[in-house]
Amino acid sequence: MNIESGKLLRLQFLARIVTKEIHCLRLTDQRLFPTLFTREKIERLEADIELSERVDAFVSRFGRLQDTVGDKLLPQYLNAVGETIGPAIDNLNRAEKLGLLTSAELWVTLRDLRNEMIHEYMEDLDRLSNALNKGHEHVSTLTEDAERILADLESRGWIMQPE
């Protein structure tokens, strides 16, 4: 299937960004989660600036990858393969049917989780701890789904993955 030059350039750009975001999220996840969060660890955030900055980086990178894939890459991909683009939930459902995402419903749940990590940041320490641990648990969902889309783009000859 041929793709318009402008669309191809946009897909290639987004693929490069997503590749970097996957790498950054995985690094931050490894640094932040040698162990799961507890209430005691959360209570140290105000005094432990390095830990607090890692939490900020994790939440930001988790949300950024989710946004870039769900709101930018996925619609561009669907358009390039001749699918109809719709609201985010429709795009997620279509991507699931195409075998690109593990679960559209899980992606919506992870969006809510991201919002919980942001909005509960300093108010409810137990909820924040639970949300961070759930986010950590689903880093592989986000990164593997993103990599599945990238692999499909590569199989079509539209991008080349770095070695």
Would you say the pTM of this structure is higher than 0.75?
Answer: yes
With cut-offs at 50, 70 and 90, classify the pLDDT of residue 122.
low
Please answer whether residues 111 and 155 qualify as being in contact, where contact means their C-beta atoms are separated by less than 8 angstroms. no
Instruction: For the chain, give every domain's residue range.
Output: 5-155
Quick one: angle between helices 88-97 and 104-119, nearest 10?
A: 140
The Cβ of residue 71 has, within 10 Å, a number of other Cβ atoms equal to 11
Per-residue confidence (pLDDT) for residue 125, from 0 to 100: 87
What lies within 8 Å, CB to CB, of 59 at 6+ separation is 114, 117, 118, 121, 132, 135
